[in-house]
Structure 1
Amino acid sequence: MSAADLARLQFAATTGIHWLFVILTMGLVPIVAIMHTRAAYARDPAKRAVRERMTRFWGQLYVINYAVGIVTGLVMEFQFGLSWSGLSKFAGNVFGAPLALETLIAFFAESTFLGMWIFGWGRMRRGVHVTLIWLVALTAYASGYWILIANGFMQHPVGFEVRDGAAYLTDFGALLTNSSALVALLHLALGALTTGGVFVAGVSAYHFLRRTKETELFGGSLRLGLWVSMVASFFVVVAGELQRPIIERTQPMKHAVLEGSGVAEVQARLVKEYGPGDYVPWQDTIRISMDVMTIIGNTVSTITFIAVILLWKNRLMRWRPALWVLLATVPFPFIASVGGWVVREVGRQPWLVYGQLTVEDALSNVSTAALAVSCAVFIALFLALAVTNWTLITRFARRGPDATQLGVTEPPPDDGLDVAPVRTASF
């Protein structure tokens, strides 16, 4: 493999794995926020207790995914300097600010709010505590916005001018309102909510298959997860179609590949515009990824719609085949989201910044051997983090709410002193 192929493989693998953390984090946190709000303001003490346990159970799974995901995000930052220094030299003046803002929001604001929420159980007023988890959700989506602003510039560069071989920002407003970023953010948010809702519904179905005694807790979780995923999965298809006109206008080759016609004509036009070269991306990869995403999106939408109907008189909780289907559906949104990422990123090849900077020109001056080593190390590290994450999530999900340690009350130390119990969030 060439140096460019190794660098692309490394970035594709690490970004794809990191994306699995992101999509679940963004999908779970609004659901946890809804659960906490319902728990905090429930008038019936019994319902409040059940909903609080529900919040702590799903909140713990969210915190595990967030904590490990942060590590993958930190590791990814090194790749820009290691493999793609040409990208930083050309576009650093433009998307450096969005990336910096994303880092400030994700690693400072979001983490701070989350830490206060974790350790705030039993220590804060309910209104303040609930506000914190909503702030976590808000900053999570704000972080996604800034990432897509940077990525949107790579898809459809706007608000800049090139001086001495480098791009300089001239219109910050155009950058912030880039249609390639905003419509993609809507699609991302709905896809994340679909993923989070299906995850909650699938884990709840698993516990009903085990004939759990926590019927009220997992019944409420199952209903919420299904309603969120049903609504989101319907509109995520709509948001996906809204991107078609944008792609046709800004990336004609990707549009031609997706439509299956006009590729040769667009290739000839791009040669006239940008000079000799192969401007056709991997057609089979893009089409297969698009088909997978579309089929899964429609399948999930259908399954969740039928499941919501079966919630009437709790038929769903008693029909084991339907519960098995919900459990088996959990991986589907993750696969679909990776397919969407492949269409978005691979479809603009050979450009790294569309129409301005090619992949070959952005590659760092690093030897093939060095890239081979870094590629193997990065992929192995990310796979290890992914395995660790899902092992922990599976373990705590199977154990159920009784094993939840987020916000639990520990007994006082046996030292003969009259010390009040301490609430902790340690794992």
Structure 2
Amino acid sequence: MSAVDLARLQFAATTGIHWLFVILTMGLVPLVAIMHTRAAYTRDPVRRAVRERMTRFWGQLYVINYAVGIVTGLVMEFQFGLSWSGLSKFAGNVFGAPLALETLIAFFAESTFLGMWIFGWGRLRKGVHVTLIWLVALTAYASAYWILVANGFMQHPVGYEVRGGEAYLTDFGALLTNSSALVALGHVALAALTTGGVFVAGVSAWHFIRDTKETELFRGSLRLGVWVSMLASFFVVVVGEMQRPVIERTQPMKDAVLENSGVAEAQARLLKEHGPGDYVPWQDAVRVSMDVMTIIGNTVSTLTLIAVVLLWKDWLIRRRVFTYTLVAMVPFPFIAGAGGWVVREVGRQPWLVYGELRVEDAVSSVSTASLAVSCTVFIALFVALAATNWTLITRFALRGPEATQLGATEPLQERQADVQAELTY
């Protein structure tokens, strides 16, 4: 493999694995925030105790995913300088600011709010504590916005001018309102909510299959997960289709590949505009990924709609075939998300910054041997982190609320003892 191929493989593998962490983090945190809000403002002590345990159970799974996932995010920042110095040199003046803001939000604001929420159980007033988890959710989506602003520039560069072979920002507003970023943000947010909803519903369904004693806790979780995934999966398909006019206008070759027609015409047009070169991306990968994403999206939307209907009179719980179906659905949104990432990134090849910088011109002057070692180490590390993450999540998810350690502070235990005494009295 050439140095370019190794650099692309390394970035594709690490980014793809990191994305699986991100989509679950963004999907779970709003659900945890909803659970915590309901728990904090429920007056009935029995229901409040159940909802608080629900919040702590799902919050712990979220914290595990976030803690391991943030390690993979740190590596992403370094790769721009290590393997893609040409990109940093050409576009660093433009997307350096969005990446810096994303780092400040994700690694400072979001982490700070999350840490205060984790250690605030039994110590903070309920209004402050609930506000913190909503701030975590807000900063998570703000972080995604800034990443997509940077990525949107690479997909459809706007608000800049090239001087001396480098891009300089001339219109910050155009960068922030880039259609390639805004529509993608809506699609990503809804895909994440679908992932989080299906995950919550699937784990809850598994506990009903095992005849859990935590009936009320998992019934509430199941209802929330099914409703969120049903609504989000419907709109994710709608917003996904809204990206097609943007792609048609900004990336004619990707549009031609997705339509499976007009590829030769698009190639001829790009030859006239940009000179000699092969402007056709890996067509099979783009089309198959698009088909997989579309099929899964429609399948999840249909099945979650049926699940919402079956919530009536607990039919969803009583019929094991439906609960098994929910469990089997858990991997689907992750596969669809990976497919969407392939369509977005592979579909714009051979451009790194569309129409301005080709991939082969952005790779750092690093030996093939060095890149081979770097690629092997990074991929092995990311696979190990992903395996660790899902081993921990699976272990704690299957153990249930009794294994939850989040919020198990002395003040919280005292408060639970007070509640139990009140109920006994």
TM-score bracket for this pair, using the shorter chain length: over 0.9
Secondary structure at 2:352's aligned position in 1? strand
How far, CA to CA, are the matches of 1:19 and 1:376 in structure 2?
19
1:171-201 C-alpha deviation (Å, 9 max, x unpaired): 0000000000000000000000000000000
Supply the distance in 1 between the matched residues of 2:347 and 2:315 (Cα, whole angstroms): 44
Which residue of the partner structure matches residue 310 of structure 2? 310
**Structure-1 residue corresponding to 2:162:** 162
C-alpha distance in 2 between matches for 1:344 and 1:83:
21
Contact in 2 for aligned 1:409/1:422 (Cα 8 Å): no
Q: Secondary structure at the match of 2:162?
A: strand
Q: Residue 81 of structure 1: CA displacement?
A: 1.0
* Aligned position for 1:54: 54
Mapping for residues 129-278 of structure 1, pairs under 5 Å:
129-278=129-278
Output aligned runs, 1:332-347, within 5 Å: 332-347=332-347
Write the distance in 2 (CA, Å) between the matches of 1:357 and 1:261. 26
Equivalence for 1:319: 319
Q: What is the CA–CA distance in structure 1 between the aligned matches of 2:168 and 2:315, rounded to whole Å?
A: 60
What SS does the aligned partner of 1:162 have?
strand
User: Are 1:101 and 1:146, in contact at CA under 8 Å, matched by a contact in 2?
Assistant: yes
Q: Report how many residues are paired.
A: 416
**Contact 2:84–2:364 (CA under 8 A) maintained in structure 1:** yes
Kindly provide the CA deviation profile for residues 55-112 of structure 1, in whole angstroms up to 9, marking residues without a partner as x: 0000000000000000000112221111100000000000000000000000000000
Q: Which runs of 5+ in 2 are unaligned?
A: 417-425
The structural deviation recorded for 1:409 is 3.6
Q: How does 1:6-21 map to 2 (within 5 A)?
A: 6-21=6-21
Number of the residue aligned with 1:30:
30
**Cα distance, 1:410 vs structure 2:** 5.0
Separation of aligned partners in 2, 1:283 and 1:168: 33
Q: Distance in 2 between matches of 1:410 and 1:367?
A: 56
Runs of 4+ in 1 over 6 A off after TM superposition: 420-423
Q: In the alignment, is the contact (CA less than 8 A) between 1:205 and 1:324 conserved in 2?
A: yes
Structure 1: tracts of 5 or more residues without a match = 413-419
Distance 1:372 1:422 in 2: 56
Secondary structure of the corresponding residue to residue 405 of structure 1 = coil
CA distance in 2, matches of 1:318, 1:266: 54
Residues in 1 aligned to 2:318 and 2:63: alpha-carbon distance in whole angstroms: 31
Amino acid at match of 2:74: L
CA deviation after TM superposition for structure 1 residue 36, in Å: 0.2
Identify the residue that residue 293 of structure 1 maps to in structure 2: 293
Cα distance 1:422–1:366, how it changes in 2: closer, same or farther (>3 A)? farther
8 Å Cα contact 2:157-2:353 kept in structure 1: yes
Shift of 1:344: 0.2
Q: Could you tell me how far apart the structure 1 residues matched to 2:281 and 2:4 are?
A: 15
SS in 2 for 1:109: helix
Write the distance in 1 (CA, Å) between the matches of 2:277 and 2:125.
Answer: 63
Match of 1:387 in 2: 387
Q: Distance in 2 between matches of 1:82 and 1:141?
A: 27
- Name the amino acid aligned to 1:45: P
Letter in 1 for 2:77: E
Aligned to 1:415: none
TM-score (norm 1): 0.96
Q: Is the 8 A contact 1:351 1:359 kept in 2?
A: yes
Q: How many angstroms apart in 2 are the aligned matches of 1:263 and 1:384?
A: 40
The offset of 1:159, in angstroms, is: 0.1
Distance 1:206 1:391 in 2: 16
Q: Which amino acid aligns with 1:372?
A: A
The answer for the alignment partner of 2:421 in structure 1 is none
Contact persistence 2:205–2:327 (CA under 8 A): yes
Superposed CA RMSD in Å reads: 1.3
Matched with 2:419 is none
TM superposition shift of 1:422: 11
Letter in 2 for 1:51: R
CA contact (8 A) 1:36 1:52 kept: yes
Query: Which deviates more, 32-41 or 69-78?
Result: 69-78
**Equivalent position of 2:78 in the other structure:** 78
Amino acid at match of 1:319: R
Instruction: Supply the AA of the counterpart residue of 1:132.
Output: L
Are the counterparts in 2 of residues 59 and 406 from structure 1 also a CA contact under 8 Å? yes
- Partners of 1:350 and 1:9 lie apart in 2 by 14
Q: Distance in 2 between matches of 1:11 and 1:422?
A: 48
